[in-house]
Structure 1
Amino acid sequence: MQVNETSKKEDGWSPTNYAKHASFVYSQAFTSPILDLLDARPGEKILDLGCGSGELGIIIEKSVGTDGDLKGVVVGVDQSVKMVEKARENGFQRTFVADIHDLTTIFPPNPDPSSELYKLISSSSSTRGSPNERKGEDREIKWEFDAVFSNAVLHWCKRDPEAVVREVARVLRKGGRFAGEMGGFMNLVGLRSAIHTVLRRRGHSNPERYDPWYFPSVESYKDVLTRAGFRVTHIALVPRITPLSSSSSQGNNEGGIIGWQRTFCTGAGMIYHNAGLSGQEMEEVMKEVEELCEVDCKDAEGRWGIMYVRLRFVAIKD
Structure 2
Amino acid sequence: MVETASAAPATQQQSDNKDQWSSQKYDKHASFVPALGAPVLRLLDPKPHERILDLGAGDGVLTVELQKQCQSVVAVDASADMISAAQQIGCKDARVVDGHDLVDDQELASGQFDAVFSNAALHWMKRDPQRVVEGVYKCLKPSGRFVAECGGYMNCSEVRTGLHAALKKRGHNPEDYDPWFFPGTKTYTRMLEQQGFRVDSIELIPRLTPLNTDIKGWIETFGFTFMKPFEGDEETQREIREEVQNNLKFSQDDGVWSIMYVRLRFKATKI
* TM-score normalised per structure 2: 0.91
Cα shift readout 1:190-221 (whole Å, capped 9, x = no counterpart): 111111111111111x2122101110010001
Alpha-carbon offset, residue 276 of structure 1: 4.1
Residue 280 (structure 1) aligns with: 235
Structure 2: distance between partners of 1:228 and 1:279: 44
Q: Are 2:226 and 1:271 aligned?
A: yes
In the TM superposition, what are the counterparts of 1:207-218 in structure 2 within 5 Å?
A: 207-218=174-185
Residues 8 and 81 of structure 1: CA distance in aligned 2, closer, same or farther (over 3 Å): farther
1:192 to 148, 151, 160: 160
Alignment of 1:19-168 (within 5 A): 19-27=27-35, 30-64=36-70, 72-103=71-102, 107-108=105-106, 111=107, 142-168=110-136
User: What amino acid sits opposite 1:77 in the alignment?
Assistant: V
Unpaired runs of 5+ in structure 2? 1-14
For the aligned residues, what is the CA RMSD?
1.6
TM superposition shift of 1:316: 0.2
Residue in structure 2 matching 1:302, options 234, 255, 259: 255
Task: Answer 1 or 2: which has greater strand percent.
Answer: 2
Aligned position for 2:270: 317
Q: Where does structure 1 lack aligned partners over 5 or more consecutive residues?
A: 1-6, 65-71, 112-117, 119-140, 246-254
Cα distance in structure 2, aligned partners of 1:194 and 1:184 = 18
- Alignment check: 8 A CA contact 2:146 2:268 kept: yes
Displacement of 1:104? 5.5
1:122 aligned residue: none
Give the count of matched residue pairs: 256
Residue correspondence of structure 1 range 163-174 to structure 2 within 5 A: 163-174=131-142
Shift of 1:271: 2.2
Query: Cα offset for 1:93?
Result: 2.1
The percentage of aligned residue pairs carrying the same residue is: 45
Deviations 1:260-303 (A, max 9, x none): 0110112xxx2222x344322111100101111112x111x121
Equivalent residue, structure 2, for 1:237: 204
Residue 230 of structure 2 contacts residue 236 of structure 2 at CA under 8 Å; is this kept in 1?
no
Inter-partner Cα distance in structure 2 for 1:9 and 1:186: 25
Aligned to 1:250: none
Q: Deviations over 1:88-147 (max 9, x none)?
A: 000012000011101256x31xx5xxxxxx8xxxxxxxxxxxxxxxxxxxxxx9332000
